[in-house]
Amino acid sequence: MRLLSSLLLSSSAFVGHHFRIILTLPLHFHNFPRSVSMDSSEGSLRNALSQKQSAVEAQGNAVRALKASGAAKPEIDAAIEALNALKLDKASIEKQLQAVVSGAGGDGGLNRESFRQAVVNTLERRLFYIPSFKIYRGVAGLYDYGPPGCAVKSNVLAFWRQHFVLEENMLEVDCPCVTPEVVLKASGHVDKFTDLMVKDEKTGTCYRADHLLKDYCNEKLQKDLSISAEKAAELKHVLAVLDDLSSEQLGAKIKEYGITAPDTKNPLSDPYPFNLMFQTSIGPSGLLPGYMRPETAQGIFVNFKDLYYYNGNKLPFAAAQIGQAFRNEISPRQGLLRVREFTLAEIEHFVDPEDKSHPKFADVSNLEFLMFPREEQMSGKSARKIQLGEAVAKGTVNNETLGYFIGRVYLFLTRLGIDKDRLRFRQHLANEMAHYAADCWDAEIECSYGWIECVGIADRSAYDLHAHSEKSGVPLVAHEKFAEPREVEKLVIAPVKKELGLAFKGSQKNVVEALEAMKEKEALEMKATLESNGEVEFYVCTLGKNVLIKKSMVAISKEKKKEHQRVFTPSVIEPSFGIGRIIYCLFEHSYYLRPSKAGDEQLNVFRFPPLVAPIKCTVFPLVQNQQYEQVAKVISKSLTVAGISHKIDITGTSIGKRYARTDELGVPFAITVDSASSVTIRERDSKFQIRVNVEEAASVVKDVTDGLRTWDDVWASFPHHVSASAED
Amino acid sequence: MRLLSSLLLSSSAFVGHHFRIILTLPLHFHNFPRSVSMDSSEGSLRNALSQKQSAVEAQGNAVRALKASGAAKPEIDAAIEALNALKLDKASIEKQLQAVVSGAGGDGGLNRESFRQAVVNTLERRLFYIPSFKIYRGVAGLYDYGPPGCAVKSNVLAFWRQHFVLEENMLEVDCPCVTPEVVLKASGHVDKFTDLMVKDEKTGTCYRADHLLKDYCNEKLQKDLSISAEKAAELKHVLAVLDDLSSEQLGAKIKEYGITAPDTKNPLSDPYPFNLMFQTSIGPSGLLPGYMRPETAQGIFVNFKDLYYYNGNKLPFAAAQIGQAFRNEISPRQGLLRVREFTLAEIEHFVDPEDKSHPKFADVSNLEFLMFPREEQMSGKSARKIQLGEAVAKGTVNNETLGYFIGRVYLFLTRLGIDKDRLRFRQHLANEMAHYAADCWDAEIECSYGWIECVGIADRSAYDLHAHSEKSGVPLVAHEKFAEPREVEKLVIAPVKKELGLAFKGSQKNVVEALEAMKEKEALEMKATLESNGEVEFYVCTLGKNVLIKKSMVAISKEKKKEHQRVFTPSVIEPSFGIGRIIYCLFEHSYYLRPSKAGDEQLNVFRFPPLVAPIKCTVFPLVQNQQYEQVAKVISKSLTVAGISHKIDITGTSIGKRYARTDELGVPFAITVDSASSVTIRERDSKFQIRVNVEEAASVVKDVTDGLRTWDDVWASFPHHVSASAED
């Protein structure tokens, strides 16, 4: 699932020392233990199949032998009957095995495919999204949001601002996409933000090396039932460790399996790394290389000093940014889930590493939802409902602040309309996290592509601020002023330069620096040795050799000092949201089919909550007539004033067809004008209708849309409208 | 003022046939007639100064001659006195001239400079914006919006959506920034979106050629008072025609004036064109060049077909897009006004070219504001107040739809807080517009940099849809179905290929195409000549010569046909908003200074309307005390629920200082908690305070912020609070 991981993990997963290792870890690594040991039924079925195959062959030989020896007919018939029985058994085992391997859990890969196709067809036909530059035959991995998609997106972002920025008083910033190289050099992206690529040796077409190997293994496992249980285990093992493979190992596997270019069957080059950033050049000189940012987080980190000042030099505080990010994927697939340009919404919550409590944790501690801790993954269990407060109390979740954001993310996603039963928080495995990270949880949403990482919530410790402090020379630190000065013991290493100069001449500087760089433990050991022996062997790495340090050359002591403040690099807790992925999953979770009234067709519906719905309300004159149209216009004007996005449909189409059209866009309410004084309001999912006065119509819709009243409440307060003919 | 024009004009000014000419026209061309003829006072002052200089010299010579000839002391004294009087006169004229040339209208360039410096200092100190990547010493032309700037920006965009997209039921789309070359080839940007650049021949540093020439002329005009009126007129002429100069002419002027590299005084290269788009490469092959879009409009044009379908195949309709655009400026200056990455908000209103009326024009026709029609500019007059309805009725504004958008833009800008007296709508001069444009008006806002183009409103006719139809082969057209079929006369040109083949052999194809391409008039003339003479000379441009066409070679006739629909390419009217420029001008228009209560300092205030203010309200406990802080938190919670962005300030700073801090961010309301039951609400600009119950505080602020009540209304409804001590 590296396939899905790079959109989102942003700085939470691909930055840092263990870059390559982190980059290449499978997102679905948690399936690993189960996968390698293999589902017991799958393993025994493969064994049974292979035994049955041998039995069929043996019995076939027996039949042929009987025939050749001219045996009696009854004897031959009996042998043939036995052969047929064996074949039937084999077919039955094949069928069972097929079900196991294709189902990814038994619910049927094919159903998922066709469900997805139905959703995507509706989405594309109604312009929720469109392949970009379609009239020029498009570009892989680039999509436009059409009118309803664009409205959903801006609703999601507005709610994100309300739920996070406003609620937490976050400092929102807006930085450019064009980023000079030095920034992304410091963050590690220039050197390490790569995928391994192979080229068709004849046509030059590029492929992601791990994708080809993965496709090969999956294809073999799903379509070739004749492979042995051992071979199947091997392929599954490859899938599990796929992203841990080095360039050389990947290349070797591709050779071993004889994998060729999918389109041409030509041989492939060895894998080599390809940087995923779009490169450009800033200014006219060609001397200032730049990149389109692969995440928005860096813009916040480089501004830490100013933001900390803006916040009155106080911790904790959070900064946030919504904006475009860019990744030049080698060969994008999976529609909106893996794209070359996408909207990220990122939060960097800066906190004192010695105090990660959160004052509002109590607000979320009683929430209970699907969590998937590290241990559960390793022991092959499934995600289970855990109370958030308990998870933090037991240390499953590292700290309160991380826990608080997990809870807030849960509320955010479910309020958007994500099904809570298809949402889980999965903890990164120890080797899946960057070395500096304290803990990391992904909000994963299940859709037709499997469990998709949509939000990453990571405690990244002080890594990013450190990296930029070092590269820029500007200290990105926080201060804690003590109410009263504190006495602290400090190690003081004082090299005696005169003595060192006499002894080491030109190498004096290297020795001085090495002495000053000693850690406390090492220094105290040297002090002890010098006091007992008068001299000590000391390794100076910049000289590559030991030197002899005498007692006169360095004074080591512990001194008491008064300190008035503590200076430290804050930790950062980073919730990072892949907005496009969340929206795509929301589309799938909101989609359903229901029969038309006549029962002759299945109609598409999106059950978006009003918060998300692209249009909140449609206004229909029941029949084409000037009076009704006038009323519709009056209502439309009130809706505009109330800030409710809506649409009038005055076509002569039947009211049933118009309802269907509006359901397919996920419009929650429809006002039908069937008199000059009162109208009906229909709720999309129940199809129930109430009758209200013309003057009230807009405000009722506004109240329900803004969440001031529920539909149930409205339903209880107004006369119900029952129509024999209006509904389709 | 090409300097300012390229950010914004987007497709409205730099696309098309007359590309270079359009690109290079001065934005302040309207000053041209005045400039070249020169302000009468400036011209006469320069003449007077030069005469006085001659008189001083002559009198000096006279004094020397008298001294040399040993004239009498009284005579010499009288001559010296006359000389001094002349020098005084000269100094006085110099002073007047200085005032005229530096004032750009008399209000003092220096005042503008220092005003701007005061605004910018406040903006940067309070993090409205920050030079991007500051810790790495920044990149010219890239800025971050810090928290208050980011909030202002998102308020402006939210209001834009409400005022345009929602109000007009526009189809909003969201397309990627990464754009394949073919799209920008079709639009003309790949070939023609350039500026002329010169290089320091030794260091390679790049400069915009027109900037250097412009700076030279301005410097000379403002600082060298000794130049003759003729020389001054020449320099002013150069400034006026600056952007009309070809690459060769620019180079010649730079040579003639001996202009060198500003930093090194090294010689400069000849000017050559530099494309302003950031280039990149899409995908790993390196074979698909792409650019970061220089405007958002193209994303709409390429989607026309789908959007037209989405709109029920009906015209008119408008599509809109908000997003980042990128221009790799050669050497950006002027802060937020000329940047390399910026937010555009663009509308493409598609309309039948035969009917550009607008049903809602009456809603804006009574508006009256500063307009600056073409004729007024040419005759050296100033902008004047014109009623919009009148401007359209008289044909000053080409059509109702264009007029409607001008009116809506006026309302949008003034509601944001743009001063209507420093806002004008300037019509493009005939040679300033693209050849295909029907009419074009810029909303210009006056700020310390002069009149800045912030919104372009252009009737671009069918140009863009044509260009993409042609390049992509996909017809981007609309249909008008006739209620009843119409009989139309159609010209039919039928070349007789057999005859033409015999006569022209290999050139047959060229001749056929030329015949078919004839316009109606030309074809009917040919028909007449053929009928009278039997043959006719016909110029075939692809052959570069005349050929002899005989009567047997072509049949030309007018035939009556029944048509069921009209197929046509819609016209597009494009309002295009430079969001960053609008925001910067808004900052300047909102800024003022007022003395502190003690009168010892000047305090900064931004008079943002609540709609725009980054934070709507601050909450202050009057003194640090648990009870007041508790009340503050309760109010804060209500404000959050009401969706009102706010900030609690519980520092022990004096209330006066806290008010000053909040005024500097433009926060319109401050709630001060000075009891457990009631609080005061202070309005920023009047500093008046009312007293309200704790429970009501949030809803009063919400009502005034949302525009449901005015402050005057609230002032009349609540008891007034008069405090001797609270205010600073």
Please identify among residues 323-342 of chain B the ones whose CB lies closer than 8 Å to any CB of chain A.
324, 326, 328-331, 340-341
Query: Within a 10 A sphere around the Cβ of B513, how many other Cβ atoms?
Result: 13
pLDDT score at A137: 92
Residue A452 placed within a domain = yes
Task: Pinpoint the alpha helices (H) of A505-562.
Answer: 508-516, 520-533
Query: Within a 10 A sphere around the Cβ of A485, how many other Cβ atoms?
Result: 12
Per DSSP, the three-state class of A357 is coil
Distance from CA of A122 to the nearest CA of B (A): 13
Give chain A's count of helices (H) and strands (E): 26, 29
- CA distances from residue B200 to A156, A286, A636, B270, B275 in whole angstroms, order as listed: 50, 14, 62, 10, 19
Task: Pinpoint the alpha helices (H) of A424-480.
Answer: 463-472
Query: Within a 10 A sphere around the Cβ of A559, how many other Cβ atoms?
Result: 9
The structure tokens 């699932």 sit at: A1
Q: Looking at the structure, do residues B445 and B582 belong to the same domain, yes or no?
A: yes
Interchain CB distance below 8 Å, A328 and B167: no
Concatenating the DSSP letter of every residue in B660-702 gives HHHHTTT--EEEEE-SSSEEEEEETTT--EEEEEHHHHHHHHH
Interchain CB distance below 8 Å, B136 and A302: yes
User: Tens of pLDDT along A519-570?
Assistant: 888 899 999 999 999 999 999 888 888 999 999 999 998 888 888 999 999 9
Q: What is the b/e burial string over B47-80, where b = at least 16 CB atoms within 10 angstroms of the residue's CB?
A: ebbbebbebbeebeeebeebeeeeeeeeebeebb
Q: Looking at the structure, do residues B473 and B494 belong to the same domain, yes or no?
A: no
Interface test with A, best of B155, B162, B174, B301 (most A CBs within 10 A): B174
**Chain B contact present for A134, CB below 8 A:** yes
Of B182, B197, B281, Cβ closest to residue A136: B182
Cβ-Cβ contacts under 8 Å, A310 against chain B: 126-127, 146-147
Q: Looking at the structure, do residues A299 and A383 belong to the same domain, yes or no?
A: yes
Q: Which residues contact A727 (CB under 8 A, 6 or more apart)?
A: A597, A655, A656, A659, A687
Cβ-Cβ contacts under 8 Å, A290 against chain B: 139, 278
Of A173, A205, A285, Cβ closest to residue B146: A173
Nearest residue on chain A to B280, alpha-carbon basis: A280
Interface test with B, best of A133, A184, A347 (most B CBs within 10 A): A133
**Chain A contact present for B614, CB below 8 A:** no
Interchain CB distance below 8 Å, B341 and A149: no
Q: Which of B139, B95, B31, B127 is nearest to B426 (CA)?
A: B31
Copy the structure tokens of residue A164. 């996070």
Under 8 Å between Cβ of A418 and A589: yes
Predicted TM-score (pTM) of the model is 0.84
Under 8 Å between Cβ of A681 and A701: yes
Interchain CB distance below 8 Å, A127 and B281: no
Distance from CA of A177 to the nearest CA of B (A): 8
User: Tens of pLDDT along A182-211?
Assistant: 999 999 999 989 999 999 999 988 999 999
Instruction: Give chain A's radius of gyration (CA, Å).
Output: 33
Copy the structure tokens of residue A277. 């950033």
Taken in order A76, A82, A88, A94, the sign of the CA dihedral is negative
Q: Which residues contact B432 (CB under 8 A, 6 or more apart)?
A: B13, B22, B25, B29, B440
User: Tens of pLDDT along A259-277?
Assistant: 999 989 999 999 999 999 9
Distance from CA of A208 to the nearest CA of B (A): 10
Of B142, B146, B472, Cβ closest to residue A306: B146
Q: Which residues contact A81 (CB under 8 A, 6 or more apart)?
A: none
Residue B11 placed within a domain = no
Beta-sheet pairing, A289-292 with A272-275 = unpaired
Residue B1 placed within a domain = no
Total domains, chain B: 5
Distance from CA of B28 to the nearest CA of A (A): 26
How many alpha carbons fall within 13 Å on the CB side of residue A485?
7
The structure tokens 């002349």 sit at: B86
Instruction: Quote the ipTM score.
Output: 0.83
Residue A319 placed within a domain = yes
Average pLDDT, chain A: 88
Of B175, B283, B340, Cβ closest to residue A328: B283
Exposed/middle/buried for residue A111 (C-beta within 10 Å: 0-12, 13-18, 19+): exposed
Q: Looking at the structure, do residues A517 and A531 belong to the same domain, yes or no?
A: yes
Using pLDDT thresholds of 50, 70 and 90, give the confidence band for residue A723: low
pLDDT score at A225: 79
Interface test with A, best of B127, B137, B178 (most A CBs within 10 A): B178
pLDDT at A489 over 80: yes
User: Tens of pLDDT along A60-119?
Assistant: 999 999 998 888 888 899 999 999 999 988 888 888 887 777 654 444 455 888 999 999
The structure tokens 């725009």 sit at: B612
Q: How far apart are the first and last CA of chain A?
A: 45
Residue B28 placed within a domain = no
Q: Looking at the structure, do residues B591 and B461 belong to the same domain, yes or no?
A: yes
**Chain B contact present for A157, CB below 8 A:** no
Q: Which residues contact A381 (CB under 8 A, 6 or more apart)?
A: none
Cβ-Cβ contacts under 8 Å, B129 against chain A: none
User: Tens of pLDDT along B127-158?
Assistant: 999 999 999 999 999 999 999 999 999 999 99
**Chain A contact present for B468, CB below 8 A:** yes
pLDDT at A32 over 60: no
Q: Which of B80, B102, B124 is the last residue of a domain?
A: B102
Q: Which residues contact B322 (CB under 8 A, 6 or more apart)?
A: B157, B160, B161, B172, B174, B296, B343, B344, B345, B346, B579
Query: Within a 10 A sphere around the Cβ of B597, how many other Cβ atoms?
Result: 14
Q: Which residues contact B94 (CB under 8 A, 6 or more apart)?
A: B49, B225
Residue A23 placed within a domain = no
Q: Looking at the structure, do residues A411 and A387 belong to the same domain, yes or no?
A: yes
Q: Looking at the structure, do residues A414 and A363 belong to the same domain, yes or no?
A: yes
- CA distances from residue A40 to A34, A99, B82, B689 in whole angstroms, order as listed: 9, 14, 117, 76
The CATH number given to whatever domain includes residue A624 is: 3.40.50.800
Q: Looking at the structure, do residues A622 and A635 belong to the same domain, yes or no?
A: yes
Q: Which of B454, B469, B391 is nearest to B586 (CA)?
A: B454
Of B139, B177, B643, Cβ closest to residue A177: B177
**Chain A contact present for B678, CB below 8 A:** no
Cβ-Cβ contacts under 8 Å, B303 against chain A: 130, 134, 144, 146
Distance from CA of B622 to the nearest CA of A (A): 19
Using pLDDT thresholds of 50, 70 and 90, give the confidence band for residue A710: very high
Per DSSP, the three-state class of A100 is helix
The CATH number given to whatever domain includes residue B354 is: 3.30.930.10
pLDDT at A696 over 70: yes
Q: Looking at the structure, do residues B222 and B169 belong to the same domain, yes or no?
A: no
Q: Looking at the structure, do residues B472 and B408 belong to the same domain, yes or no?
A: yes
- CA distances from residue B471 to B300, B348, B574 in whole angstroms, order as listed: 16, 20, 21
Nearest residue on chain A to B649, alpha-carbon basis: A312
What interhelical angle do B73-103 and B209-223 show, nearest 10? Answer: 140
Q: What does chain B come to in residues?
A: 728
Interchain CB distance below 8 Å, B145 and A171: no
Q: Identify each DSSP E strand in A412-470 by its residue range.
A: 423-427, 439-447, 450-459
Copy the structure tokens of residue B404. 């409607």
Copy the structure tokens of residue A199. 């080229």
**Chain B contact present for A275, CB below 8 A:** no
Interchain CB distance below 8 Å, A146 and B310: yes
Under 8 Å between Cβ of A465 and A573: no
pLDDT at A25 over 80: no
Cβ-Cβ contacts under 8 Å, A299 against chain B: 132, 144
Q: Which of A566, A590, A606 is the last residue of a domain?
A: A566
Please identify among residues 186-205 of chain A the ones whose CB lies closer than 8 Å to any CB of chain B.
197, 204-205
Interchain CB distance below 8 Å, A280 and B279: yes
pLDDT score at B625: 87
Q: Residue B636's domain spans which residues?
A: 615-717
Task: Pinpoint the alpha helices (H) of B15-39.
Answer: 19-23, 32-37
Cβ-Cβ contacts under 8 Å, B197 against chain A: 284
Which segment of A122-136, A305-319, A653-667, B222-236 scores lowest on mean pLDDT? B222-236
Query: Within a 10 A sphere around the Cβ of A721, how many other Cβ atoms?
Result: 18
What interhelical angle do B400-416 and B147-160 show, nearest 10? Answer: 150
Q: Looking at the structure, do residues A53 and A200 belong to the same domain, yes or no?
A: no
How many Cβ pairs closer than 8 A exist between chain A and B? 221
- CA distances from residue A530 to A150, A218, A535 in whole angstroms, order as listed: 72, 65, 5
Using pLDDT thresholds of 50, 70 and 90, give the confidence band for residue A388: very high
The CATH number given to whatever domain includes residue B73 is: 1.10.287
**Chain A contact present for B282, CB below 8 A:** yes
Q: In what order do the strands lie in the sheet with A178-180?
A: A178-180, A289-292, A279-281
Task: Pinpoint the alpha helices (H) of B207-343.
Answer: 209-223, 229-241, 247-256, 297-301, 304-310
Interchain CB distance below 8 Å, A132 and B340: no
**Chain A contact present for B472, CB below 8 A:** yes
Interchain CB distance below 8 Å, A142 and B166: no
- Which residues of chain B are modeled with pLDDT < 70? 1-40, 102-110, 723-728
- As a whole-number percent, the residues of chain A with pLDDT over 70 amount to 92
Q: What are phi and psi of A123, to 5 degrees?
A: -60, -45
Q: Which of B594, B622, B620 is nearest to B607 (CA)?
A: B594
Give a three-class secondary structure readout of A606-624: ECCCCCCCCCCEEEEECCC
Q: Looking at the structure, do residues A466 and A522 belong to the same domain, yes or no?
A: no
Asked, as a colleague might, if the bond just before B609 is cis with ω within 30 of 0, I would say no
Residue A347 placed within a domain = yes
Residue A586 placed within a domain = yes
The CATH number given to whatever domain includes residue A237 is: 3.30.40.230
pLDDT score at B619: 95
State chain B's maximal CA–CA distance in angstroms.
109
